[in-house]
Amino acid sequence: MNNCQSAELRSLPTEQILPATYDLDRMSALEIARLINDADATVAAAVGRALPQIARAIDVVADCLRRGGRLIYVGAGTSGRLGALDASEIPPTFNIDPRRIQFIMAGGPRALGSSTEASEDDTAPAIAEMKKRKPGKKDVVIGIASSGRTPFTIAAVEYARRRGARTIALTCNRNSPLERAADFAIVTEVGPEVLAGSSRMKAGTAHKMTLNMISTGAMARLGYVYGNLMVNVWTKNEKLTDRAVRIVEQATGKDHESAAHALKASGNRTPVAVVMLAAGVTRSQAVAALKKSKSHVRNAIANAKS
């Protein structure tokens, strides 16, 4: 990093010193906890100021997935791990094909559990990983970097955009290179950290909140939820099967026995069971309605009833 780049980095709001934390190492445990809690209480407001851009991202992601595309997260360090976390949680929560939700992490999968921070400056692997995925017009790539300056993430986003993919930057600093590289940016301005420069704190919390909003919002727009219920939940173990029965009960207003019977008759496919009971149709009719609606449960119920 040259002197100019170093000076620019030091000037970022997220790199500044929070005066209230000067004596952090002299504080009691309760004082530290209270200080961090007070700082964290400002994060929701920072995310709130970016809601219009978050809503735009929800629609972009939903549109790309609706057309058969993929959602690909890119990041390094904490940012990359947050992207990987959301990518790993979306498939079991909404029963979407894991190939549709991917992540690219600087340093590769091993960086999820160990520090490979130097890899964030290497652009060649970012481009190579993105090339493997052959991004196109149906895909959306979300580049995550608190500073907005991570070379790995910028290179991946630039490559994807040149290939026609929709691109979104998620940062905590305005007018960054990553923002300029993407179609548009979501900027959660959280300011200085309690632990100076530690983006796993307020910045990480803001980005976790934002990614939750985008992925959950997109799945809701796609109809992978019914009301506020996870009607696409997997039934891979006893706990999830019990949850699926309760979801079928709540979604249809039927008793426990009827819900359990419908789930079994559906082949343990929760959305099929919901459509069967809510529309009063057979398993094959429910499956056909879901296929016609592209897995949109509410639309499938309406189709099955008509």
Residue pair 276/249 in contact (Cβ under 8 Å)? The answer is: no
Alpha carbon distance 24, 17 (integer Å): 12
Could you tell me which residues are beta bridge partners of residue 74?
A: 104, 143
The number of CA neighbours under 13 Å toward the Cβ of 64 is 28
Residues tagged active-site: 89, 120
Alpha carbon distance 124, 163 (integer Å): 17
Backbone angle region of 175, left / alpha / beta, with phi > 0 → left and psi within -120 to 50 → alpha? left
Backbone angles phi and psi of 266, in degrees to 5: -80, -5
Q: Where do the H-state alpha helices sit in the chain?
A: 3-10, 29-40, 43-48, 51-66, 77-94, 123-133, 151-162, 177-181, 202-221, 238-252, 256-265, 270-279, 283-292, 297-305
Q: In a 3-state reduction of DSSP, which class is residue 142? A: strand
